[in-house]
Structure 1
Amino acid sequence: MTPLRSFPAKASRKAIHFSAAGRLLQLRHHQSLVSHHIIRPASTGSTAVAARLKPPTLDIETRSSVMDAKAKQQYLADSPPTVVRLEIKPHFDVLDEKQKRYAHFISRAAFQGTRITLRQVSPESEPIYDLIISLYRACNGDWNALAQKTGVSAENLRFFLEYAAQFLGNCGSYKGFGDSKFIPRISAANLETLASATAETKAAWEKARKSGGGIYETSTPELMHLGYPEKGHMSTYYPDSPTITTEEISLIASFLEKKKLLPENTRLQKTDAGNFELLIASANKSPAASDRDVRDVDKWELDGKLKGKTLQLVFGDYSEEMAKIAQSIKQAEVNAANDVQKRMHAQYEKSFKTGSLEAYKESQREWIKDVGPVVESNLGFVETYRDPHGIRGEWEGFAAIVNQERTKAFGKLVASAESMIPKLPWSKDFEKDRFLSPDFTSLEVLSFAGSGIPAGINIPNYDDIRMNLGYKNVSLGNVLSAKAPNEPVPFIREQDLQVFRDYRDPAFEVQVGIHELLGHGTGKLLQETAPGQYNFDISRPPVSPITKKPITSWYKPGQTWSSVFGSIASSYEECRAECVAMALGCDFKILELFGFGNGEEDLNGKAGNVLYASYLQMARAGVMALEFWDPKSSKWGQAHMQARYSIMRTFLDAGGDFVKLVHTKDDLSDLEIHLDRSKILSHGRPAVEKYLQKLHIYKSTADFKAGKALYDDITHVDEWWGSRVRPVVLQKKIPRKVFVQANTVLEGDKVVLKEYEPTLEGMIQSYAERDV
């Protein structure tokens, strides 16, 4: 999209306008292909698998970086990071002892997967984690004493603590929100000095600096980002497989689809002989054939382009962690509130022991039936954002307590959902045959293990369960309300600051509610469910509102949304859900459900302020999204931010000067978003709905080609955005929050809650005492 700059004769500021006609018609994606510099053992037999699952090592000298100082700046750890506490005590205290034990064991199960998440991020993440914990133990949390003992300055100690807190908040050496590596501000020499305190810390330092890409910048800039190994990026979903190609990953994904073996809890490894091994997360290394999803199959002969190669199934990935998780889940089952929860945890336990994702899906069916629990939870290999191919899940888990008061507002939204869905820009042919009214609760998080904490969740992700049984929506209240004091608000003009600050939180709560319930919760996938059987009338296919002709594509037997849309599926779906929120967020009846206004259209009242703040927030997020785009690889590192960038571009394309980017300085350092409140309904909403309609129809009809062309085009970052705007975004970026979470401790039959200060030291202490 080429910026068209116009300079009104009497205007003192420069307004940047964008027109749809100026959008680039050709897709431009240039990525350099750089091979991984990872050494793997020569042995490829099944007995050597355990050795190959250890973090690969590189001699530190081979990893000297060619990154210049300016480029390095964007990867430095935040100084200081924003540390906030997840407030939970008032909600935890009202639980009875059985409920507290239930929450405790789920919390333990979730955090016992910490090392799984670390290994899923990068080979160096687990050794860095061990270094941080060993340094804490070496000084028992008295960091000043450690600095004095080792002769490290107060500033360098602070740099280390800042890095450690950010590392723990992201559960790895790459940002959980952005997928780029971050590195300490303390120099390697000073960190080595700090780590000289004991023999244990010295050993931990040596292992951390030599594992994977090490603690600091990597030998190539491509390795500073997660992505396909073939393109030089980091990914441990394809461990020790420097020669594995994107095509091979895709071919094996299609093969597994045909064999009906789900991939979420797997990793894929290529051997030196060119064969493949599918590593399946399970406590048992040899589960009984009756417990496996493909029964007694251990190996397949591959076909097509991979003919002559084999795919070996290898159970026992993360076996030690999965065994601990299964044990904690068994104890949670003992303290369950009802039979539904007991059946759910029995299926969890079976899945985590045997690697069966069919058992896991059964746990999710039971989870949906567990309506309105006091203690809510979910865990497993859930979200697939960080697998470059978009099909393998990252470990996460949470235990949370229902906020009954806030849940009432979401209950009203659920009750009104069926009257709201017809307002979306597609016909009933492209909508579920019946709306399965979901459980929608506001939760206060006790524990959330993983690479980051979202504001809301809509799960499970399995299409068959969602379409036939439904799903649950949750809004995480104490995540939404956690604030850093005096946080700056770049890109918002002075006259909008007050309304933005006053209404951004309620605007975000409304957005999250609609996003989860009516965004992820709507839409029908048109499918050939079995050979010759369809979930639509194949003799009279639905007419596309885009082409005005009958549809010509749909999902074939065995295909899923993720398998068809692959690497763009996560971001594309987040974009679709965000657009639903932007469209229906304009409905004053919905705003009334949340306590804003009386349901009548009033752009200048309280409801209008919420709506205005919502559109301002999205426009600002779209500009700030450029932080998560890498100019070296032309790659987006975060699904939600890629989506928000595209919506901001849609605002700019809406015409009528609905949204303008305005500046007076040539370096764009005073860049501001000017959004015309009076045109949200006349220009903003129609532009969003036009974009949303295309996103939705392409998804419903499995039209990957059209969907990818649309999404690649509107999320393309041209020279002006990349070279002019992005540097300003980086200069003004605000550190993301890292959350200090409480621990629960079992003392006899009683569970004690231990909270920590929202400080760098408190963050590290909470993990050290979690003992995972």
Structure 2
Amino acid sequence: MKRQLILMIMLLSFLSSCGNLKKAAEADKFNYKVEQFADLQLLRYKVHGFDQLSLKQKELIYYLSQAALEGRDILYDQNGKYNLIIRRLLEAAYLNYTGDKKDADFVKMETYLKRVWFSNGIHHHYGCEKFAPGFTPEFFRGVLEKIDPAKLPLEKGQTLAQLCEEIFPVIFDPKVMPKRVNQADGEDLIQTSASNYYEGITQQEAENFYAGLKNPNDSTPVSYGLNSRLVKENGKIYEKVWKVGGLYSPALEKIVYWLKKAEGVTENDTQKAVIAKLIEYYQTGDLKKFDDYCILWVKDLNSRVDFVNGFTESYGDPLGLKASWESIVNFKDMEATKRTETISNNAQWFEDHSPVDKQFKKEVVKGVSAKVITAAILAGDLYPATAIGINLPNANWIRAHHGSKSVTIGNLTDAYNKAAHGSGFFEEFAYSKAEIELNDKYADLTNDLHTDLHECLGHGSGQLLPGVDPDALKAYGSTIEEARADLFGLYYLPDQKMIDLGIIPDADAFKAEYYSYMMNGLMTQLVRIELGNNVEESHMRNRQLIARWVFEKGTPEKVVELVKKDGKTYVRINDYKKLRELFGKLLAEIQRIKSEGDFAAARNLVEAYAVKVDPVLHKEVLERYKKLNLAPYKGFVNPVYQVVANPNGEVKDVKVSYDEGYAEQMLRYGREYSTLPNRNE
């Protein structure tokens, strides 16, 4: 019997290998790369397993995807009040241009338009600085003057000359609206940010307004300001709420229409209740109903198909209060989820053994669920650039009382990995052959595991002390929270528990992620920043904060070094064990800051380690990277779904295809999913 079992295991292993070889062969035929321009590369992602879903599940995904795409204009307007006008003006120029399309100005205009599409506006999606057009105002005006005015985004009675006078400074003058999100310490972050979340308001006025709404004794506070624009008119400060009948109503009405269609083909009553509550929230704008929706969503653990749709993350608001619109439609990867379920099932063990002070730990970890998902559509602030992991909801009290859902997006990490192999990037910046071999052997796995730990456990770990305002860290809150989750993952990757659970293969695997993380935080993420600029984006600040802090604290023992070899700078890790201890110490401090709402400590930590850049090292990194002819930022083109129906309109099937190009997709979205007016006031 034992021998038969061994033979069976060997046979299953062989069949599995055959299956993997077949999958690899199929993957080789799939073209992940679409195009590259400026500092951007567009990829495709394969929706593995879509054909194996039931017809009802496919139909549900289709309706949810339509609801996702209808929110596109909302994000453009949130990112800047002129973005919709500028996008439509550029698209009109692009589609109606009659000159030589090899002309240098036209090529630069085309690249600029592609960047606007990628960033959902005129500011860089990551660095937040306004990008320069390249083409001249004279060229652009000349193109527009040859176009039928009916094809231009002109207001009633407005002339092209008047439109150009208003819009051209926004496009061409680098001093006008230079930053979408400004995080510079000591400046008025609202008045120096171009994002469209406030109108006529100072930072102090906004902070006072929301402080006045909060009750320190409320243990279940709503997310004040999450779904509104704060404005001051005639001396009065009030909110314009994003809801049906309010701001962004035309787009939200379309979203609700498709959500109601989805409601009719849900997998179960729990999922139906989730969608119904989301519709109710959109119709009322009531943030209490949003909390009710979040609680229902967290508890929906049995549905194969899942989605995020709404005003979710607050990175685009310099005060970290107001949420950008985003959506992702997905379904569970049943096999890969076994890994994340193992992690989430042991959440209490990880919480109990965390290096943070006991008073900051949760005595009982509730409702931590985790899965690996297959993305079916990306939209809003998750498109074209996207996250590879998500942990929601964001409200601390909901996490504490009801838990959270964590996902790793498997088919997106797969697409990134496929596109990255053979690029030469790691070989250029890794210290030696030993680090390259570690990366080749373990990196795909350990990177996914770090994402799992970050999302599944990191964001859901710890607790605020009673009476601490969830927004106490203000503009530094996002950076501190991302550092907290990253450190949780880094601390536990080498733990024997990971090996005991069968998640990580051996005691050396974690070193691949440790080296990659330190190399990125100390050096290589600088390829995403223009020479002379500081670090602005919260995730980049988080990584530099961690890397610079442990580098400095470990300097006496040379735990990590920056060394020169053949005239180039490299990261060398001399003591991985000590490095883990340093990660643990920083995690303990950052959890204390979060739990106590220690704004001064958060500010000091971020400003000391996360913001400033060594200009000499920066210049070297940029020069080395340039020779590789790579793009530091990547995003995705969505698949296309098409309903196959009987003559009576009954849905027979839903087909997915992958042959739509980047410009083709963006122009189609502009025709089919553009419902908001040029100005949303």
**What TM bracket, shorter-length normalisation?**
0.7 to 0.9
SS at match of 2:472: helix
Match of 1:735 among 624, 628, 632: 632
| Match of residue 45 from structure 2 | 86
Query: Is 1:480 matched up with 2:419?
Result: no
In the alignment, the residues of structure 2 paired with residue 657 and residue 589 of structure 1 have an alpha-carbon distance, to the nearest angstrom, of 28
User: Which residue of 1 is the match for residue 563 of structure 2?
Assistant: 662
The superposition leaves residues 426-481 of structure 1 with CA deviations (integer Å, 9 ceiling, x where unpaired) of 24432112112422111111112123310100100111111001010000112212
Are residue 455 (structure 1) and residue 388 (structure 2) matched?
yes
- Which deviates further from its counterpart, 566-575 or 759-768? 759-768
1:464 aligns with 2:397: yes
**How far off its partner does 1:276 sit?**
1.3
Report the AA paired with residue 72 of structure 2: T
Once the two structures are overlaid, the 10-residue window that deviates more, 416-425 or 481-490, is: 481-490
Q: Is the 8 A contact 1:620 1:673 kept in 2?
A: no
Counterpart CA distance in 2 for 1:193 and 1:446 is: 41
CA distance in 2, matches of 1:394, 1:429: 33
> Counterpart of 1:105?
63
Inter-CA distance 735–597: structure 2 relative to 1 (3 Å threshold): closer
DSSP-derived class of the 1:673 partner: strand
Identity of aligned residues (%): 24
For 1:237, the aligned partner's letter is: Y
Cα pair 1:150 1:196 within 8 Å, conserved: no
**Residue by residue, what CA displacement relative to the aligned partner does 1:647-684 show, whole Å, maximum 9, x if unpaired?**
1112312132222222368xx8x3222223xx111x20
Is the 1:585–1:591 Cα contact (8 Å) retained in structure 2? no
Identify unmatched segments of 5+ residues in structure 2.
1-35, 155-159, 675-681
Q: 1:494 to 1:184 in 2, by over 3 A?
A: farther
Aligned to 1:175: 124
C-alpha distance in 1, partners of 2:165/2:389?
36
Rounded Cα–Cα distance in structure 2 between residues aligned with 1:426 and 1:375: 36
Corresponding residue for 2:573? 675
User: How much does 1:627 deviate?
Assistant: 5.6
1:693 matches 2:567: no
Relative to the length of structure 1, the TM-score reads 0.72
Is the Cα–Cα contact under 8 Å of residues 85 and 757 in structure 1 kept in the other structure? no
Residue in structure 2 matched with residue 611 of structure 1 by the alignment: 511
Between the aligned partners of 2:169 and 2:580, the Cα distance in structure 1 is 46
Gaps of 5+ in 1: 1-76, 140-145, 285-315, 529-554
Residue pair 1:78, 1:735 contacting (<8 A) in 2 also: no
CA distance in 2, matches of 1:751, 1:127: 38
Equivalent residue, structure 1, for 2:487: 579
Question: Which residue matches 1:50?
Answer: none
Q: Could you tell me which of 639, 642, 648 is aligned with 1:745?
A: 642
Q: Is 1:275 the counterpart of 2:173 in the alignment?
A: no
| Aligned-pair CA distance for 1:750 | 4.3
CA distance in 1, matches of 2:143, 2:51: 40
Match of 1:35 in 2: none
AA partner of residue 391 (structure 1):
L
State whether residues 432 and 522 of structure 1, in contact with CA within 8 Å, keep that contact through their aligned partners in structure 2: yes
2: distance between equivalents of 1:188 and 1:591? Answer: 61
Shift of 1:169: 2.7
Q: Distance in 2 between matches of 1:342 and 1:327?
A: 15
Contact 2:406 2:456 in 1 (8 A): yes
C-alpha distance after superposition, 1:122-163 (max 9, x if no partner): 123212332354457x47xxxxxx5xx322316555444443
Letter in 1 for 2:638: Q
Give the whole-Å Cα distance in 2 for the aligned partners of 1:494 and 1:221.
44
The amino acid across from 1:585 in the alignment is L
3-state DSSP class of the match of 2:152?
A: helix
Structure 2 residue 537 is the aligned partner of structure 1 residue 641: no
Q: Secondary structure at the match of 1:482?
A: helix
State the SS of the aligned residue for 1:335: coil
What RMSD in Å do the two structures reach over aligned CA positions?
Answer: 2.9
- What SS is found at the alignment partner of 1:671? strand
Partner of 2:26: none
Show the 5 A alignment for 1:327-406. 327-406=257-336
1:87-236 map, 5 Å: 87-88=46-47, 90-134=48-92, 138=95, 149-153=98-102, 156-192=105-141, 198-199=147-148, 203-204=152-153, 207=163, 210-211=166-167, 214-220=170-176, 222-223=178-179, 226=182, 228=188, 232-236=192-196
Change (3 A) 1:132 1:757: farther
Which residue pairs with 1:723 in the alignment?
615
Is 2:429 the partner of 1:491? yes
How far apart in 2 are the matches of 1:498 and 1:155? 44
Cα distance in 2, alignment partners of residues 221 and 135 from structure 1 = 23
Distance in 2 between residues matched to 1:131 and 1:374, nearest whole Å: 41
d(CA) in 2 for partners of 1:708, 1:566: 10
Counterpart amino acid of residue 238 in structure 1 = Y
Q: 1:199/1:488 Cα in 2 relative to 1: closer, same or farther (>3 Å)? A: farther
The reply to whether residue 256 of structure 1 matches residue 156 of structure 2 is no
- 1: distance between equivalents of 2:137 and 2:168? 16
> Aligned partners of 2:586, 2:272: CA distance in 1, in Å?
44
Q: Aligned equivalents of 2:164 and 2:286: distance in 1? A: 33
AA at the equivalent of 1:232: T
- Partner residue in 2 for 1:20: none
Distance, in Å, in 2 between the alignment partners of 1:657 and 1:277 is 55
Structure 1 counterpart of 2:229, one-letter code = R
Residue 520 of structure 2 is matched in structure 1 by 620
1:206-264 alpha-carbon deviations (Å, 9 max, x no partner): 6588438633453258446546555533221113x2xx321111101201224966210
Question: How far did 1:516 drift?
Answer: 0.9
Does the 8 A contact of 2:531 with 2:619 survive in 1?
Answer: no
Cα distance change on mapping 1:594 and 1:118 into 2, 3 Å: farther
Give the 3-state SS of the residue equivalent to 1:583 in structure 2.
Answer: helix
The amino acid that maps onto 2:576 is I
Residue 443 of structure 2 corresponds to residue 507 of structure 1 = no
After superposition, the Cα gap between the structure-2 partners of 1:360 and 1:757, relative to the gap in structure 1 and judged at 3 Å, is: same
CA deviation vs aligned residue, 1:317-358 (integer Å, no higher than 9, x gap): 111111111221111111111111111111111111111111
Report the Cα offset of residue 371 of structure 1. Answer: 0.2
Deviation at 1:405, TM superposition (A): 1.0
Alpha-carbon deviations, 1:604-638, whole Å to 9, x = none? xxx2xx43344323432342444667898x86421
**Rounded Cα–Cα distance in structure 2 between residues aligned with 1:579 and 1:114:** 33
Look up the equivalent residue of 1:645 and give its one-letter code. Answer: Q
Shift of 1:422: 2.5
How many residues were matched structurally? 602
Question: What residue is the counterpart of 2:5 in the other structure?
Answer: none
Give SS of 2:463's match. Answer: coil
User: Could you say if the C-alpha distance between residues 410 and 133 of structure 1 is closer, same or farther in structure 2, counting changes exceeding 3 Å?
Assistant: same
Instruction: Describe the shift of the 1:98–1:635 C-alpha distance in structure 2 as closer, same or farther (beyond 3 A).
Output: same
Amino acid at match of 1:491: F
Return the letter of the residue paired with 2:148: A
